[in-house]
Structure 1
């Protein structure tokens, strides 16, 4: 099974973009997930950091805090489908729990390991898997105040409650002003946003047009859009292909934890997104002040299996390499946004233009103005004297 069917066409309806593909035995989950960790080069990155101290917000269905590999690692936020923040959280869901385990699974009791096993999870519910159509909102017509949305509330909540990374394995076809503004807000706070590009790659529209519908929030500027690849590193046929794709990660047959302590294989760009979010958590743990744009550069510039042209709309710049990205992030910490420029440099081969005249009064004009005023006063005084003498000569004057 794949979670393509839940990417709803209804505008304003967030939907999960990955589903459980089948049960996995707990006794062999480490062996089954080996290829996934190898594909993203996680174990090499663990020699530097395991993500300790980083909070990753999982904007999804509620995460089960009792799942063994997530025990004592999960903080539950209010249900963001309501603006009241007082209705409690929805029932825990397999999807959110699976995503959290791929990011921060602790390996407790021989269980599965996430890409950043030292990270913590802030579970922010925006979707209930039992009631996915709850509280739909209409598309924003651009008039008046932005229409508030669960996603916008979730992004602001995450940014205000210590999250350094936000993982969003969900999407919608419509854009919302409130969501765009919330994305900008989170980025301004130094939070790195990672989102699934969707699972529309094998739809009739995609086959005819050679590209897939864009999914948001992956399509918003500043968000790292993630596509899915298979075990051989090839783009998954279902993974959406468009210019929102920045990198790829495993998204076919990926073992993940589910509520109750069991495991299941995941299929979809959801799983790929969680794995990339884990790689980003490693970077933020080691370099907490690295800005989102530089984190994105570290991820994209070190990806494995780069397409021949350097980029394509199926796998982006390649499959994420957590260890290489971590190394590049260290190099980028010394990056300066501006460089000093020598004062004697100029464009072209001609002579340097003269310096501009400093502002202030012109001395010559001041002299001319002063002379004019003096002559005017002299003439006025002479006229007064002449008129006075004439009045004294007139008969009857005293």
Structure 2
């Protein structure tokens, strides 16, 4: 028996009417907040594929035309069906890899490609196996993660969420990380729930809550945490998630609010890092994003915005330093800190000089002992 579980597209888009200004003008504050244009001088995400685990992506919009690969329906391991393009998945994919064609919306990694892995239909619940049978079943998200890792994705963007961890998903997360895939997820929009107000923290949302996944919170135009953004220790970094322009299916634009948009933007920044440093492992991509973030909380970290708002250019510089650190680890070549090298350690095993001294001392003692015995014997003779 299957149980209906609502998979929250961890920011179901709350759209307002589009403004009259061109979309590039509307999204300028988003790009500035992430320091994207400076990063584009280094890379725009070439040779990177970002898997979008969401509703199906419309690859016919001008911003994504010719750069979307449609993967199979992830909701079933045996039955294949063609899902219609979704509002949410299309919007997230354009935030990641929108080309800006014809003055259209530009994503944070405009030269990247998209692998669409549909596992939800916009605003509809999805049927997944209940927890008691999960040991023998693989969830749609688990299938999507393994498919992405096995089909060339370097980054996976997950603007989705549910409230319960599953074993198959934990194992799939570990599998993808082991393949070098960077995993990015929205932390959820539960900041204004009664539970969050009473407890001072939000329910954890998964996949953002799995170890190794980069959890992204939402901030406003002032860089402050968006009131709806979930706050808990799954938050690693944050990004704009209020009044973010997104592409609509077929054509046109609208505004979105939610951690979904924030996660997609950060997935694009992760794609920039993987484009420039393809061998950098996922944990160091996360380190580069966190260590270089702007607007760091006074304590260095908090569960509302994590280590701060992602800075794409600074993250690339941090990734370069991490790559350099990897290359410099050569025995005998470097030492920690400034100053003279420590003395070369002595070779293991017996010390020849000490052996000679010990042997000589033993021989002298033996000769002295024998001599004393001879003298005593001579004295005893009449």
| TM bucket normalised to smaller | 0.7 to 0.9
8 Å CA contact 1:11–1:139 kept in 2: the answer is: no
Query: What is the aligned partner in structure 2 of residue 112 from structure 1?
Result: 105
1:229 equivalenced with 2:225 (yes/no): no
Deviation at 1:162, TM superposition (A): 0.5
8 Å CA contact 2:187–2:234 kept in 1: the answer is: yes
Q: Deviations over 1:3-25 (max 9, x none)?
A: xxxxxxx8854221221422325
Where do 5+ consecutive residues of structure 1 fail to align?
1-9, 343-351, 358-398
8 Å CA contact 1:55–1:120 kept in 2: the answer is: yes
1:125 equivalenced with 2:115 (yes/no): no
Q: What's the C-alpha RMSD, in Å, of the aligned pairs?
A: 2.2
1:61 equivalenced with 2:55 (yes/no): yes
Counterparts of 2:305 and 2:195 in 1: how far apart (Å)? 19
Counterparts of 2:45 and 2:16 in 1: how far apart (Å)? 29
Query: What is the aligned partner in structure 2 of residue 312 from structure 1?
Result: 302
Q: Deviations over 1:294-313 (max 9, x none)?
A: 10000000000000000000
Q: How many residue pairs were aligned?
A: 335
8 Å CA contact 1:140–1:147 kept in 2: the answer is: no
1:335 equivalenced with 2:325 (yes/no): yes
Query: What is the aligned partner in structure 1 of residue 205 from structure 2?
Result: 215
Query: What is the aligned partner in structure 1 of residue 88 from structure 2?
Result: 95
Q: Deviations over 1:136-193 (max 9, x none)?
A: 3212577xx4421000000001011100000000101001000000000000000000
Equivalent positions of 1:32-47 (< 5 A) are: 32-47=26-41
Counterparts of 1:294 and 1:266 in 2: how far apart (Å)? 30
Query: What is the aligned partner in structure 2 of residue 134 from structure 1?
Result: 126
8 Å CA contact 2:233–2:303 kept in 1: the answer is: yes
**What's the TM-score, normalizing by structure 2?**
0.83
Q: Deviations over 1:304-349 (max 9, x none)?
A: 000000000000000000000011101111234977489xxxxxxx
Give structure 1 regions of 4+ aligned residues with deviation exceeding 3 angstroms: 10-13, 336-342, 354-357
Counterparts of 1:87 and 1:27 in 2: how far apart (Å)? 39
Query: What is the aligned partner in structure 1 of residue 288 from structure 2?
Result: 298
Counterparts of 2:222 and 2:37 in 1: how far apart (Å)? 19
8 Å CA contact 2:5–2:126 kept in 1: the answer is: no
Query: What is the aligned partner in structure 1 of residue 190 from structure 2?
Result: 200
> For 2:30, what is the secondary structure of its paired residue?
helix
Q: 2:68 aligns with which of 65, 74, 80?
A: 74
Counterparts of 1:83 and 1:198 in 2: how far apart (Å)? 27
Counterparts of 2:171 and 2:68 in 1: how far apart (Å)? 27
Query: What is the aligned partner in structure 2 of residue 267 from structure 1?
Result: 257
Counterparts of 1:65 and 1:135 in 2: how far apart (Å)? 26
Query: What is the aligned partner in structure 2 of residue 191 from structure 1?
Result: 181
1:180 equivalenced with 2:180 (yes/no): no
Query: What is the aligned partner in structure 2 of residue 7 from structure 1?
Result: none
**What's the TM-score, normalizing by structure 1?**
0.80
> For 1:328, what is the secondary structure of its paired residue?
helix
Where do 5+ consecutive residues of structure 2 fail to align?
334-344, 351-382
Q: Deviations over 1:103-133 (max 9, x none)?
A: 0100011101100000010010010116x22
Q: 1:169 to 1:114 in 2, by over 3 A?
A: same
Counterparts of 1:231 and 1:240 in 2: how far apart (Å)? 18
Deviation at 1:135, TM superposition (A): 2.1
Counterparts of 2:144 and 2:157 in 1: how far apart (Å)? 11
